[in-house]
Amino acid sequence: MRIISWNVNGVRATTGKLKNGEKKGGPTNNVITTLVEEQKPDVLCFQEVKTQSEGDLACFKPLFKHIYCNFAKHKKGYSGVALLTNVEPTWVTYGFDEYPEEYIGDYANKEFHHEGRIISAGFENYIVVTVYSPNAQPELARIETRIEWEQVLRMYLKQLEEDHALPVILCGDLNCAIHDMDIYNPKMKKKTPGCSVEERDEFQLMFDAGFTDSFRHLHPDIQKYSYWSNFRNARERNMGWRIDYMLVSDTIKDKIAEADCLTDYYGSDHCPILLALQ
């Protein structure tokens, strides 16, 4: 299986751009179609699609037979994820609805439950989950929501593994640079969202629970990023963060054949990331 994940920062905006970031794209000629043609993913996952209409993804129907979307319920043009594939899943879910409170808590009353942040899809050999994790916000104003999300997601993924007896692939913008080498300036303030002690400690529990960072598994010493600020020519100066991940159940970490940040593709403040399993 070959999977690509990308925080497109607005799918309509990204389809209006070419691979080099120029605003000359269109429905059939844009950075996303070029990405699919060149990288040939079996599954393509988007985060931060910023739309309430599946019609904004209709231009990808010639490329993918099955398109699934989850949108923010109460905030127009906010958040949202999508999963596109030519291999029809055996099942697809949106949110955490299939699990009762005793497994993952009172999730229905959590703010993130209505923000279109997750899609899960079952395939023959794997479960693919794409997510857009909440940002902790400046001065960690949303840190409680962020920690709750991490706890619910972690419990949910482990329950998926157990119930379906399949390994899980978690992909998406997880909004945390887990190690100092995953950020251009490791001396960031402790309250900087995305690299705070609170976020790193909670995110570490995901690895402790039995998940492997596919990129770091293959590239323990390589410093490469997936996100750059729009300010100070950050991308040109490579002042980036690696906050987009492909995590896999430890049981299949030896099947990781390729994992990379595809930095040659522009169109968003993030670049696509790739996972190939043998």
Cα dihedral 66→92→214→248 (10° resolution) = -150
Residue of 99, 126, 132, 184 with catalytic role: 132
Nearest residue to 241 via CA among 175, 143, 197: 175
* Residues 6+ away with beta carbon under 8 Å from 149: 110, 112, 117, 133, 134
Identify the residue whose tokens are 């990308």.
6
Q: Is 132 a catalytic residue?
A: yes
Question: Is 173 designated active site?
Answer: yes
CA 196 to chain centre: 19
For residue 20, CA distances in Å to 14, 34, 263, 265 come to 11, 11, 11, 7
Which residue in the list 173, 213, 244, 260 is annotated as catalytic? 173
* Residues annotated catalytic, as ranges: 132, 173
